[in-house]
Amino acid sequence: MSTLRELAEEHTQLRPADIDHLHRIAGDWQLLSDMSFADLLLWVPVDGDGTFLCVAQVRPTTAPTAYLDDQVGRIIGGPEVAHLEVAHRQGRIWREGDPVWYGDVPARHEAIPVRLRTADGESGEVIAVVGRDTNLSTARTPSQLELNYLTTADDLAQMIADGTFPPPRHPGETTSAPRVGDGLVRLDANGKVTYASPNAQSAYRRMGYASHLVGEDLAKLHRRLAGDPLEGTDAGNAVLAALRGEAPPRREIDARGATVLTRALPLMPAGVPIGVLVLVRDITEVRRRDRALITKDATIREIHHRVKNNLQTVAALLRLQARRVGMPEARVALEESVRRVASIALVHETLSMSSDEAVEFDGIVDRVASAATEVAATEVTVGMRRQGSFGVLPAEIATSLVMVLNELLLNAVEHGFPPTGEEGPASPDGAGRPEVVVSAHRFRKQLHVSVADNGRGLPEQFDAERGGNLGLQIVRALITGELRGTIELRNGATGGTEAVLVVPLARTPTDRLTP
Ligand SMILES: Nc1ncnc2c1ncn2[C@@H]1O[C@H](COP(=O)(O)OP(=O)(O)OP(=O)(O)O)[C@@H](O)[C@H]1O
Ligand SMILES: [Mg+2]
């Protein structure tokens, strides 16, 4: 389905600023739809031919819809657009028709012109029309709540026609504003409550205000609830600003352990400030969960920290044991285990310092690489180099991958460049000094890694698919198991050995990265 912007760009000559305004309307109009108990359709005139195109639609959450089918993308003309035409041409709200029928649903049509004021506050032009269509099949005598909603809805409709609704958005505010179902308070021009919906009444009750809201001075009440009656509180000031016709940002009130989000909208149909609409939402639970998440984050970091400590203890024990055993082979095996455990500890150490379950992997690789050269310090000094970047990796990939790289790096140093005299020259092609290059890049949600040395290459008759001791067994098990990737071990094009890995990245929700 096309977006509002795509539809408008394709079929109309609306300017970017016009389309932005239509987006603002569509971001805030659920409120109007709910209070009108009506569907809202946003119609834009198609170039030249007298037809109108529907670019957005919203259904009321408070009443049955007049349209079971989606209307976005529909183009209408002829007698069907007469009321839209009037609103568009004359710039006034049209509401003088008889009910029309959609199948077996009777509906009342209204048309509200959408005006975009010019930057200097001049009245500006009508750029679109909001169709307000009410399903009449369930219409009955409206209740007090409904009457209040309808009056306020008419004020907002007039403000759309004036170009004063929706108010400018404050930076950082999302559209998840309080909605009418959360709670609604209407103030008169003096800031006194004339109506409060049951949900609004409940929100204030949770903050410790038990009596009825009607007649209260809301700015003063907000100050009282927030506990500083003299100083203007944010939520109190917001009400005062809206009474002056300004559109203040959303504010929270904390009182008695409850948190309530408020949004004050000035009501000024035809430019005259007549009062304020305050939407309130009890967000105590949301805030409590936020806090719980913060503690959960800290707990996870602490766990990683402890896992790291435990792994380091295990490594220390093994090292101790390695020193005590007499048999050289056993000692080497134990020392290798020390390195394997230590490389995993590295990942947990990094995780314990980051705020989410993902690690900046390059630093880890560099540390594992330099450890590999140190450990295998034979007579040959092997250089280590990293090309490209691993980026940020989710924890579960990082732990397996660090093990794999550890083995491959050790192999490159140990077998690529054996001590001279043991098995021929270290670098048969004589091309430069011994070096291992780890390269990494991301491509199509995959991580491509290669570990290449310029050593003496794999032994003859080496079975690259299955051959090897414990080291390569660990590597293959992790690659095909945990990492669900592939590995190829081969002789490099210019001598030496190259291990090429491909690891898919897109399978975990924790991986929030673009390749
Ligand atoms: N980069 C390399 N250059 C040359 N030969 C290699 C290289 N990598 C692996 N090999 C060969 O593959 C064999 C198997 O490696 P593998 O890591 O499985 O075992 P290992 O290194 O001998 O012992 P460990 O289990 O301690 O790692 C090595 O013994 C070596 O002969
Ligand atoms: Mg090995």
Q: What is the pLDDT of residue 174?
A: 60
Give phi and psi for 39, each to the nearest 5.
Answer: -75, 145
| Residues in a beta bridge with 515 | none
CA 412 to centroid of ligand 1, rounded, Å: 8
Q: What is the pLDDT of residue 189?
A: 94
Question: What is the number of helices (H) and of strands (E) in the chain?
Answer: 13, 18
Q: Which atom of ligand 1 is nearest to the CA of 451?
A: 1
Q: Considering only CA atoms, which of 209, 270, 272, 271 is closest in space to residue 235?
A: 209
Closest Cα to atom 28 of ligand 1: 468
Contacts of 238 (CB under 8 A, 6+ apart): 222, 248, 249, 250, 251, 262, 264
Q: How would you list the strands of the sheet with 125-135, edge to edge?
A: 75-76, 52-58, 39-45, 125-135, 105-116, 100-102
DSSP state letters, 27-50: HHTHHHHHHHTSEEEEEEEPTTTS
Q: What is the pLDDT of residue 512?
A: 43
User: What is the C-alpha separation between 196 and 510, in angstroms, rounded?
Assistant: 43
Mutation choice for ligand 1 from 472, 479, 497, CB with most ligand atoms inside 8 A:
472
Other beta carbons within 10 angstroms of residue 462's beta carbon come to 14
Instruction: Please state the pTM of the whole predicted model.
Output: 0.58
Q: For residue range 334-378, what is the model confidence (pLDDT) as tens digits?
A: 988 898 888 888 888 888 887 677 888 999 899 888 888 776 555
Q: What is the pLDDT of residue 175?
A: 53
Contacts of 164 (CB under 8 A, 6+ apart): 117, 268, 271
Q: What is the pLDDT of residue 375?
A: 63
Could you tell me where the beta strands, DSSP code E, fall in 156-246?
184-188, 193-196
CB 206 within 8 A of CB 282: yes
Q: Is the sign of the CA dihedral 97, 163, 170, 245 positive or negative?
A: negative
Using DSSP's 3-state secondary structure scheme, residue 113 falls into strand
CA 72 to centroid of ligand 2, rounded, Å: 63
User: What is the C-alpha separation between 90 and 51, in angstroms, rounded?
Assistant: 17
List b or e across 370-386, with b for residues whose CB sees 16 or more CB atoms inside 10 angstroms.
ebbbebbeeebebebee
CA 471 to centroid of ligand 2, rounded, Å: 4
Mutation choice for ligand 1 from 340, 343, 403, 415, CB with most ligand atoms inside 8 A:
415
User: What is the C-alpha separation between 222 and 227, in angstroms, rounded?
Assistant: 9
CA 373 to centroid of ligand 2, rounded, Å: 13
Q: What is the pLDDT of residue 57?
A: 95
Q: What is the pLDDT of residue 420?
A: 64
Other beta carbons within 10 angstroms of residue 85's beta carbon come to 15
Question: Cis peptide leading into 16, omega within 30 of 0?
Answer: no
CA 443 to centroid of ligand 1, rounded, Å: 29
CA 478 to centroid of ligand 1, rounded, Å: 16
Q: Considering only CA atoms, which of 114, 108, 156 is closest in space to residue 134?
A: 108
Query: Which segments of the chain have a pLDDT < 70?
Result: 1, 121, 139, 172-178, 228-232, 355, 375-379, 420-431, 507-515
Mutation choice for ligand 1 from 373, 437, 469, 490, CB with most ligand atoms inside 8 A:
469
CB 403 within 8 A of CB 411: no
Q: Considering only CA atoms, which of 82, 11, 22 is closest in space to residue 48?
A: 11
Cα distances (Å, whole numbers) of residue 371 to 338, 346, 393, 419, 438: 12, 11, 21, 18, 14
Please give all residues whose beta carbon lies within 6 A of any atom in ligand 1, as ranges: 336, 407, 411-412, 414-416, 453, 455, 457-459, 468-472, 497
Q: What is the pLDDT of residue 269?
A: 93
Which residue is it, tokens 């929270």?
A: 252
Q: What is the pLDDT of residue 172?
A: 66
CA 423 to centroid of ligand 2, rounded, Å: 17
Ligand nearest to the CA of 451: 1
Closest Cα to atom 30 of ligand 1: 415
Closest Cα to atom 12 of ligand 1: 468
Q: For residue range 180-220, what is the model confidence (pLDDT) as tens digits?
A: 778 899 999 999 999 999 999 999 999 999 999 999 999 99
Ligand nearest to the CA of 336: 1
